[in-house]
């Protein structure tokens, strides 16, 4: 089945009791048993829920994986991954990681004796030198936030396999429409479903997929033991969102390209970060592993000050100034004071997050209106 067909049909069967074409919201905490242990596969909604089960199989199908698990947030999903490991285990991660993931690793899991090494991965081969006999997992994000660094998933997967280390990929920015890490050798794929998969800025949710039965069992055990599961109403909303994922992504990509090309011609704009430009570092890797380049764009200003950026962010009318990304509406943000505020100035500047850097999540409105809005704000 091709992607759009899967987005609409995979994992979703007509409801067996009524034939309802849409998976009902099974708003129930428990299920009646005929005799102790004699049930229909569902016992308690932390463990299994039919609405969640439909979403979990749909997500697995879209990522070309066998098993899916949903969590109450993206960070809840990553939390479950790291709970597979023990004190003394080592994890290698991208250095320009999503801020919340960095906080989870360093402020929560380091206390329990898990060691994290944060390394630049633009040159995939350099990852190998950080592997020790205690390394258990390599954690990758690509494109990274907010300067869209591209990491070669297939090359990192080869290194991981050679050393018998797991590879997990946070695929939030790309979605399976653009990139399927399982096909490139990843063992696990994670999503902040909150973003493009939900797509309508109305749900917070996370997901993991894998094709390893052993990993799926371990993660389901953690999901049930720790309990960070989403409710059925939210699962329904995401099932609904997924049905237009391919169309939304197509438009995000078209609009992203046009906005990036427009910004290139604007004299106020200095550096522009969008993986579709041939001059973008690792553009050829992005062209190989992604089907298109997405709607996330960052840029800084020739006047590289916080004030200059704030002026623009206050002047935009269609772009809303807000955290998050991936919804149908266009958003803008200021990483230095929002998502990356906790990172010291010199560390920030090393990774390209200068004081004037602005990040756009280009939505699916008419692109002429989006460009007109940026034009008036930048003038």
Q: Where do contacts with ligand PLP occur on this chain (CB under 6 A)? A: 73-75, 98, 100-101, 141, 145, 170, 172-173, 192, 194-195, 204, 206
Residue 132, judged by CB atoms within 10 A of its CB (0-12, 13-18, 19+), counts as exposed
Considering the candidates 98, 102, 177, 273, report the single residue annotated as catalytic: 98
| Contact predicate 298/148, CB 8 Å | yes
Considering the candidates 195, 251, 348, 359, report the single residue annotated as catalytic: 195
CB-side neighbour CA atoms (13 Å) of 94 = 29
Q: How far is the CB of 230 from ligand PLP (least distance, A)?
A: 10
Region of 137 (left: φ > 0; alpha: ψ -120 to 50; beta: rest) is: beta
User: Sheet of 166-170: strands edge to edge?
Assistant: 67-71, 206-210, 188-192, 166-170, 135-141, 90-94, 115-119
Return the structure tokens found at 84: 């597979």
Q: How far is the CB of 75 from ligand PLP (least distance, A)?
A: 4
Q: Closer to ligand PLP at the Cβ: 50 or 326?
A: 326
Strand partners, 191: 207
Distance CA 301, CA 156 (A): 33
- Our answer to whether residue 317 is catalytic in this structure is no
CB-side neighbour CA atoms (13 Å) of 260 = 24
Q: How far is the CB of 32 from ligand PLP (least distance, A)?
A: 33
In the three-class reduction of DSSP (H, G, I as helix; E, B as strand; rest coil), residue 1 is classed as: coil
- Our answer to whether residue 103 is catalytic in this structure is no
Q: How far is the CB of 44 from ligand PLP (least distance, A)?
A: 24
* Closest-approach residue to ligand PLP (CB): 74
Distance CA 14, CA 334 (A): 44
Q: How far is the CB of 16 from ligand PLP (least distance, A)?
A: 31
Q: Closer to ligand PLP at the Cβ: 6 or 359?
A: 359
Q: Closer to ligand PLP at the Cβ: 198 or 378?
A: 198
- Our answer to whether residue 170 is catalytic in this structure is yes
Q: How far is the CB of 330 from ligand PLP (least distance, A)?
A: 16
Q: Closer to ligand PLP at the Cβ: 138 or 301?
A: 138
Q: What angle do CA 336, 337, 338 make, to 5 degrees?
A: 100
Considering the candidates 79, 152, 170, 187, report the single residue annotated as catalytic: 170
CB-side neighbour CA atoms (13 Å) of 90 = 9
Considering the candidates 31, 46, 243, 258, report the single residue annotated as catalytic: 46
Q: What angle do CA 88, 191, 245 make, to 5 degrees?
A: 165
- Our answer to whether residue 52 is catalytic in this structure is no
Give catalytic residue positions.
46, 98, 170, 195
């Amino acid at each position: 089945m091709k992607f759009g067909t899967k987005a609409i049909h995979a994992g979703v069967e007509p409801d067996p009791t009524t034939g309802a074409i849409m998976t009902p919201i099974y708003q129930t905490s428990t299920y009646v048993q005929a005799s102790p242990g004699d049930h229909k596969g569902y016992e308690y909604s932390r463990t299994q829920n039919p609405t969640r089960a439909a979403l979990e199989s749909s997500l697995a199908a879209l990522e070309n994986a066998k098993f899916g698990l949903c969590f109450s947030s993206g960070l809840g999903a990553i939390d479950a991954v790291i709970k597979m490991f023990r004190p003394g285990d080592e994890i290698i991660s991208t250095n320009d990681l999503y801020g919340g993931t960095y906080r989870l690793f360093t402020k929560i899991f380091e206390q329990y004796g898990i060691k994290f090494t944060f390394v630049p991965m633009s040159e995939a081969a350099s990852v190998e030198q950080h592997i020790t006999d205690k390394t258990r997992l390599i954690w990758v994000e690509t494109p990274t936030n907010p300067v869209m660094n591209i990491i070669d998933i297939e090359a990192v997967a080869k290194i991981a396999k050679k050393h018998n280390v797991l590879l997990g990929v946070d695929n939030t920015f790309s979605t399976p429409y653009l990139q399927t890490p399982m096909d490139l050798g990843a063992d696990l794929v994670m999503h902040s479903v909150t973003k493009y998969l939900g797509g309508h800025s109305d749900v917070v949710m996370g997901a993991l997929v894998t094709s390893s039965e052993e990993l799926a069992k371990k993660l389901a055990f953690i999901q049930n033991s720790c309990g960070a599961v989403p409710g059925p109403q939210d699962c329904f909303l995401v099932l609904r969102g997924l049905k237009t994922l391919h169309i939304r992504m197509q438009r995000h990509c078209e609009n992203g390209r046009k906005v990036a090309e427009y910004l290139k011609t604007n004299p106020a704009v200095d550096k522009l970060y969008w993986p579709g430009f041939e001059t973008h570092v690792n553009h050829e890797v992005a062209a190989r592993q992604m089907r298109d380049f997405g709607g996330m764009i960052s840029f800084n200003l020739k006047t590289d000050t916080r004030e200059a950026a704030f002026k623009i962010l206050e002047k935009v009318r269609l772009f809303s100034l807000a955290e998050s990304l991936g919804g149908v509406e266009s958003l803008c943000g200021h990483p230095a004071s929002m998502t990356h505020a906790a990172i010291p100035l010199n560390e920030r500047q090393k990774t390209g997050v200068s004081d004037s850097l602005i990040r756009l999540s280009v939505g699916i409105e008419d692109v002429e209106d989006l460009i007109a809005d940026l034009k008036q704000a930048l003038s």
